[in-house]
């Protein structure tokens, strides 16, 4: 498969080039040159298939022979060792739980696939790749865990000292092995600036192969189609003749973009409901057809605090910049913090199910959609993006109760933190990296 940049100025790239570059050199995001299609017969064959078989069938179309089939199959088996349960809340409403990976958030799907592909390409090129990431929390932990133990790769994480939660810091600083955490005396913007400076440092690049693993990487997007493909087939089996609605809590809109790709590939999906918090640039675009990003505001669903979502460029590309076409497939609803807390409460009271604040935004957005469209008679699934135990404070505020922390999380909390303190002066980072 050939990948183009959404800015159309850089040269087309193979899957390897697009994966190792991350962002195209014209500043655009890589998109597949054509969206691969599944025929009805192909879909029929996958109907009862296990998750990993569906993931393989989808990945194969994007890979197009660059990675041999047997290796691609092995990569998928080692990435998706956890389950993606579809939990019924009521007859036609489900939660698709995407939080059963090692860091308890859906970013594990993207980060693990990217890590294994990067490792494969590094081995093929007989190089050693250093992944440099600035993180304010969730992305960093998924990347650190995804690359843990992947041969031919090493991760260097930069995080702002004292500005991430204790749980996040533990997740970043206890991986060990090929993952090093640098605790920067500065804020998240300093971390991002340092990483950018390293990428522009020609001298450094002579001794290190650097890559970024950031959230816009095409190899993080591809695996985010797998669980829509699988979920839509599961729902079609339980509700014959119906196509699924998916409600997606959205920040950078990468998760939603994965869903849109799955629909365009031919999986049985009717419509998407994108839930945003107060950061509603895309929600307003879907309603009004004008894109006017606002500065980011802080909310309870912090992983969705994005004022100017980067994957919007991809969505625009896939809908040929046609607002009506996009709005026909995607409805947007914005959800306030107080509605989020009310929703966590209401869902617990009605179903005995505990939702994290991000998932609650998706649930409430679906309710708003149903209030506006009373004729919906298809099954709907809310994509659950994080385990509630990752957001203990919000749960405590909403439900006034403590929840049990899963063993995986407790183990991380009990481990010894190992980080290297560093100033926000680039000279310190460059001297550290050049000695690696
Ligand atoms: C990253 C994240 C989101 C937002 O996903 P996007 O792909 O950026 O829209 C939602 N919920 C959680 C818990 C996340 O970590």
Q: Atom 1, ligand 1: which residue's CA is nearest?
A: 303
Residue 310 alpha carbon to ligand 1 centre in Å? 12
Strands 179-184 and 153-160: parallel
Residue 355 alpha carbon to ligand 1 centre in Å? 14
CA distance 301 to 273: 17
Domain that holds residue 75: 70-105+221-399
Q: Pick from 229, 265, 264: which is nearest to 244 by CA? A: 229
23 pairs with which residues across the strands? 29
- Three-state SS for the chain is CCEEECCCCCCCECHHHHHHHCECCCCCEEEECCCCCCCHHHHHHHCCCCHHHHHHHHHHHHHCCCCCHHHHHHHHHHHCCCCCCEEEEECCEEEEECCCCCCCECHHHHHHHHHHHHHHHHHHCCCCEEEEEECCCHHHHHHHHHHCCCCCEEEEEEEECCCCCHHHHHHHHCCCCCEEEEEECCCHHHHHHHHHHHHHCHHHHHHCEEECCCCCCHHHHCHHHHHHHHHHHHHHHHCCCCCEEEEEECCCCHHHHHHHHHHHHCCCEEEEEEEECCCCHHHHHHHHCCCCCCCCCCCCCHHHCCCCCCCHHHHHHHCCCCHHHHHHHEEEEECCHHHHHHHHHHHHHHHCCCCCHHHHHHHHHHHHHHHHCCCCCCCEEEEECECHHHHHHHHHHHHCCCCCCCHHHHHHHHCCCCCEEECCCHHHHHHHHHCC
274 pairs with which residues across the strands? 248, 332
- Domain assignment present for residue 26? The answer is no
Tell me what pLDDT residue 60 has. Answer: 97
CA distance 416 to 126: 34
Tell me what pLDDT residue 87 has. Answer: 98
Tell me what pLDDT residue 181 has. Answer: 97
- Domain assignment present for residue 42? The answer is no
Residue 253 alpha carbon to ligand 1 centre in Å? 8
- Domain assignment present for residue 407? The answer is no
What amino acid positions are annotated as catalytic residues?
107
- Residue count of the chain, please give it: 436
Strands 179-184 and 86-90: unpaired
Please tell me if the CB atom of residue 107 comes closer than 6 angstroms to any atom of ligand 1: yes
Q: Pick from 418, 411, 310, 415: which is nearest to 103 by CA? A: 411
Residue 48 CB neighbours (<10 A): 10
Look at the block and give the residue holding tokens 């604040």: 357
Q: What is the pLDDT along the chain (436 residues), one digit of tens a residue?
A: 999 999 999 899 999 999 999 888 898 999 999 999 999 999 999 999 999 999 999 999 999 899 999 999 999 999 999 999 999 999 999 999 999 999 999 999 999 999 999 999 999 999 999 999 998 777 889 999 999 999 999 999 999 999 888 888 999 999 999 999 999 999 888 998 999 899 889 999 899 999 888 778 999 999 999 999 999 999 999 999 999 999 999 999 999 999 999 999 999 999 999 999 999 999 999 999 999 999 989 999 999 999 999 999 999 999 999 999 999 999 999 999 999 999 999 999 999 999 999 999 999 999 999 999 977 789 999 999 999 999 999 999 999 998 888 888 899 999 999 999 999 999 999 999 999 8
The answer to whether 263 and 37 have CB atoms below 8 angstroms apart is: no
Tell me what pLDDT residue 116 has. Answer: 97
Residue 433 alpha carbon to ligand 1 centre in Å? 30
CA distances from 206 to 86, 103, 132, 323 (A): 48, 34, 16, 45
Please tell me if the CB atom of residue 385 comes closer than 6 angstroms to any atom of ligand 1: yes
Please tell me if the CB atom of residue 253 comes closer than 6 angstroms to any atom of ligand 1: yes
- Domain assignment present for residue 194? The answer is no
Instruction: Give the burial class of 308: count Cβ atoms within 10 A of its Cβ; 0-12 exposed, 13-18 middle, 19 or more buried.
Output: middle
| Closest ligand 1 atom to Cα of 251 | 9
Helix 138-147 / helix 166-173 crossing angle, nearest 10 deg: 20
Please tell me if the CB atom of residue 260 comes closer than 6 angstroms to any atom of ligand 1: no
The answer to whether 399 and 344 have CB atoms below 8 angstroms apart is: yes
Look at the block and give the residue holding tokens 């994509």: 383
CATH of the domain at 377: 3.40.50.1100
This prediction has a pTM of 0.95
- Domain assignment present for residue 321? The answer is yes
Tell me what pLDDT residue 137 has. Answer: 72
Please tell me if the CB atom of residue 282 comes closer than 6 angstroms to any atom of ligand 1: no
Q: Domain total for the chain?
A: 1
CA distance 30 to 21: 10
């Amino acid at each position: 498969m050939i990948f183009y940049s959404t800015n159309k100025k850089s040269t087309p790239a193979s899957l390897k080039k697009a994966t190792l570059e991350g962002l195209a050199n014209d500043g655009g995001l890589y998109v597949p040159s054509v969206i691969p299609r599944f025929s009805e017969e192909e879909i029929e064959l996958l109907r009862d298939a296990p998750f990993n078989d569906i993931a393989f069938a989808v990945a194969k179309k994007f890979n197009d022979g660059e990675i041999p089939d047997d290796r691609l199959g092995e990569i998928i088996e080692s990435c998706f060792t956890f389950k993606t349960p579809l939990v019924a809340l009521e007859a036609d409403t489900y939660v698709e739980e995407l939080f059963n990976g090692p860091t308890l958030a859906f970013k594990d799907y993207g980060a693990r696939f990217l890590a294994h592909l990067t490792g494969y390409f590094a081995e093929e090129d007989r190089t050693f790749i250093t992944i440099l990431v600035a993180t304010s929390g969730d992305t960093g932990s998924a990347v650190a865990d995804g690359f843990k133990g992947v041969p031919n790769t090493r991760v260097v994480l930069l995080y702002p000292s004292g500005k991430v939660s204790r749980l996040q810091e533990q997740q970043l600083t206890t991986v060990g092995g090929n993952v090093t955490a640098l605790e920067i005396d500065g804020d998240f913007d300093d971390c991002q600036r340092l990483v950018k400076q390293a990428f522009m440092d020609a001298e450094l690049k002579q001794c290190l192969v650097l890559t970024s693993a950031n959230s816009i990487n095409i190899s993080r997007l591809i695996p985010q189609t797998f669980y829509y493909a699988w979920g839509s087939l599961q729902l079609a089996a339980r509700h014959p003749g119906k196509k699924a609605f998916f409600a997606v809590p959205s920040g950078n809109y990468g998760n939603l973009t994965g869903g849109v790709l799955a629909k365009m590939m031919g999986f049985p999906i009717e419509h998407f409901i994108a839930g945003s918090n107060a950061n509603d640039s895309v929600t307003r675009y879907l309603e009004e057809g004008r894109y006017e990003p606002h500065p980011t505001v802080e909310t309870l669903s912090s992983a969705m605090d994005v004022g100017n979502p980067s994957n919007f460029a991809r969505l625009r590309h896939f809908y040929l910049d046609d607002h009506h076409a996009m709005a026909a497939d995607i409805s947007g609803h914005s959800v306030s913090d107080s509605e989020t807390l009310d929703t966590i409460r209401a869902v617990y009271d009605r179903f005995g199910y505990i939702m994290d604040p991000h998932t609650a935004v998706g649930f409430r957005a679906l309710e708003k959609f149903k209030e506006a469209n009373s004729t919906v008679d298809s099954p709907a699934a809310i994509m659950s993006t994080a385990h509630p135990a990752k957001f203990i404070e919000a749960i405590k505020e909403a439900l006034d109760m403590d929840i049990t922390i899963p063993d995986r999380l407790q183990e991380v909390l009990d481990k010894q933190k190992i980080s290297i303190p560093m100033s926000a002066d680039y000279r310190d980072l460059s001297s550290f990296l050049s000695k690696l």
